Amino acid sequence: MFKTAVQLYSFREQSAKDFVDMLKLVAIIGFKGVEPAGFYNLTPREFKKIVNDLGMEVCSAHSPWCRSVESIPEIVDTLGELGLKTACCGYGPNEFKDLDAIKATAELTSAMQQKFAENGITLFQHNHFWEFDRIDGRLKYEIYAELCPKVMFEIDSYWSANHGKEDPVAIMKQFRERTILLHMKDGVFDPDIPMLPLGSGKMPIPQVLAAADPAKVEWVIAELDNCVIDMYRGMKKSYLYLTQSGLAIGNR
């Protein structure tokens, strides 16, 4: 059974006001884990202690976000304080704009992956929607994956659908062997319309999860970049959908 976590970027407005109080609210909802996107004046060590004291785990982190080989020693130190053996990288649309850009991005990724591996850390890449445009009929992400064969993936299934142009279930099957984390959003695949709580949009969430490898994927990480209702209510509904549908387990 997958475990429930939340990407804390979803609560960025609340975090800026009172980060610790926001973490308490996440714990009250029942999530088993959190994935930080900033520490809001806490040290990574302080953050981890608060999360653990609230009965949750740090499942992975987008802080720090690796974009260069030079930053890796500092990132390794931070991951040590968080108790993690995984590191995240991700890129903007310019890094995937054409074949030359993809080749350069894959080369950088491979260099970072090798350096992290020397420190016993697995590098994963987090996608957005632009990686799932096509060049000559092929997914840009497919080309990228072939060019950096050792990096693992944190597939954001909603973005992998590329606003409804692609089938997120087929995407999950295609990249199953290298997917170690899952981001889950929901909505109507329209970038101009706010996202919806999990289970109330067009995402085929049960089918995506059924296509993932449970031997590799431990966490299903809920993330709403925005929400048609209050974010706390949206995330509570998302948590209840995952747990009451038997798709993932939580603390409540």
What are the tokens at 107? Answer: 């080369």
Q: Which residues, in sequence order, are bridge partners of residue 65?
A: 88
Instruction: Yes or no: say if 61 and 35 are a contact pair by the CB < 8 Å rule.
Output: yes
Considering its fold, how many domains does the chain have in total? 1
Tokens 């049960």, residue? 206
Residues in the chain: 252
Domain interval for residue 150: 2-249
Per-residue pLDDT of the chain (252 residues; tens, 9 = 90+): 899 999 999 999 999 999 999 999 999 999 999 999 999 999 999 999 999 999 999 999 999 899 999 999 999 999 999 999 999 999 999 999 999 999 999 999 999 999 999 999 999 999 999 999 999 999 999 999 999 999 999 999 999 999 999 999 999 999 999 999 999 999 999 999 999 999 999 999 999 999 999 999 999 999 999 999 999 999 999 999 999 999 999 999
Instruction: Yes or no: say if 59 and 35 are a contact pair by the CB < 8 Å rule.
Output: yes
3-state secondary structure of 91: coil
Write the CA distances from 92 to 58, 112, 114, 125, 129, integer angstroms: 25, 17, 22, 12, 10
Cis peptide before 64, with omega less than 30 degrees from 0?
yes
Maximum alpha-carbon separation in the chain: 51
Write the CA distances from 71 to 65, 77, 78, 233, integer angstroms: 9, 10, 11, 37
- Tell me the pTM: 0.97
Q: What CATH number is associated with residue 241?
A: 3.20.20.150
3-state secondary structure of 169: helix
